[in-house]
Chains A and B, each alone.
Chain A
Amino acid sequence: MDTKPFVVLQDVAKRWNGQLGVEEISLDIDEGSFVALLGPSGCGKSTTLRLLAGLEIPDEGQILIEGRDVTTSAASARNLSMVFQSYALFPHLSVAENVIFGLKVRGVPRAERREKMARALEITGLGGLEHRKPSELSGGQRQRVALARAIVAGQRLCLMDEPLSNLDAKLRNSVRKDIKKLQRDLGITVVYVTHDQTEAMSLADKIVLMREGRIQQIGSPDDLYNRPANTFVAEFVGAPPMALIEPGIVEDLSPGRTLGIRAENVEIAKKGKGRLSCIVSEAEFLGNETLIGLEHKGVRGLTVMKPGLSLVPVGERVEVTFNNQDLHVFDEVGRRVSEQLTEK
Chain B
Amino acid sequence: MSRLGTLLEQAGAILLAVIWISPLLFAFWAAFHTSSDAVSFNLLSPWTLDNFRTAWEGAPWLRYFLNTFLLVTIVLIGQFFFTTLAGFAFAKMDFPAKDFVFILVLMQLFILPEVLIVENYAMVSRLGLFDSLFGVGMPYMASAFGIFLMRQSFKSVPIELHEAARIEGCSLLGILWRVYVPLAKPTYLAYALVSVSTHWNNFLWPLIVTNSPDTRPLTVGLSIFGAPENGVDISVISAATMMSVAPLLVAFLLFQRQFVQAFLRAGIK
Contact = CB atoms under 8 A, between A and B. Distances in A.
Interface string B220-256: 0000000000000000000000000000000000000
Interface in B178-218: 178-179, 182-183, 185
Given A92-B182, A92-B183, A105-B174, A75 B167 contact: yes
A75 B166 contact: yes
B114 interface: no
A91 B169 CA distance: 19
Contacts of A90: 161, 164-165, 178-179, 182-183
B168 A88 contact: no
B166 to A, nearest CB: 5
B96 interface: no
Contacts of B161: 88, 90
B160 interface: yes
A92 to B, nearest CB: 4
A82 B164 CA distance: 7
A106 B46 CA distance: 70
Nearest to B162: A88
B266 interface: no
A88 B163 contact: yes
Contacts of A75: 163, 166-167
Contacts of A80: 167
Contact of B166 (A55, A85, A86, A91): A55
A139 interface: no
A106 B169 CA distance: 7
Contacts of B165: 90, 101, 105
A74 B167 CA distance: 8
A175 B167 CA distance: 23
A341 to B, nearest CB: 50
Interface residues of A, number: 22
Contacts of A105: 165, 168-170, 174, 178
A55 B170 contact: no
A76 interface: yes
B178 to A, nearest CB: 7
A102 interface: yes
Interface residues of B, number: 17
Interface string A74-117: 11100011101110101111000000011001100000000000
Chain A interface SS verdict (over half): loop
A76 B182 contact: no
B158 interface: yes
A88 B169 CA distance: 15
B160 A86 contact: yes
A88 B178 contact: no
Contacts of B160: 84-86, 88
Contacts of A92: 182-183, 185
Contacts of A88: 158, 160-161, 163-164
Interface string A41-81: 00000000000011100000000000000000011100011
A84 B169 contact: no
Contacts of A93: 182
Most A Cβ at <10 Å: residue of B170, B174, B183, B185: B170
A102 B166 contact: no
B176 to A, nearest CB: 13
Contacts of A82: 163-164, 167
B9 to A, nearest CB: 38
B183 A91 contact: yes
A54 B168 CA distance: 12
A101 B158 CA distance: 17
Given A88-B158, A91-B183, A102 B163 contact: no
B166 A76 contact: yes
B93 to A, nearest CB: 16
Contacts of B178: 90, 101, 105
A84 B170 contact: no
A141 B207 CA distance: 59
A84 B183 contact: no
Interface string B151-165: 000000010110111
14 contacts: A54-B166, A54-B167, A76-B168, A76-B170, A80-B167, A82-B163, A88-B163, A88-B164, A90-B165, A90-B182, A92-B183, A102-B169, A105-B169, A106-B169
Interface of A: 53-55, 74-76, 80-82, 84-86, 88, 90-93, 101-102, 105-106, 149
The 3 closest A-B pairs by CB, nearest first: A102-B168, A76-B169, A88-B160
Given A93-B182, A106-B169, 11 more contacts: A55-B166, A55-B167, A76-B169, A80-B167, A82-B163, A82-B164, A88-B164, A90-B178, A92-B183, A105-B174, A149-B168
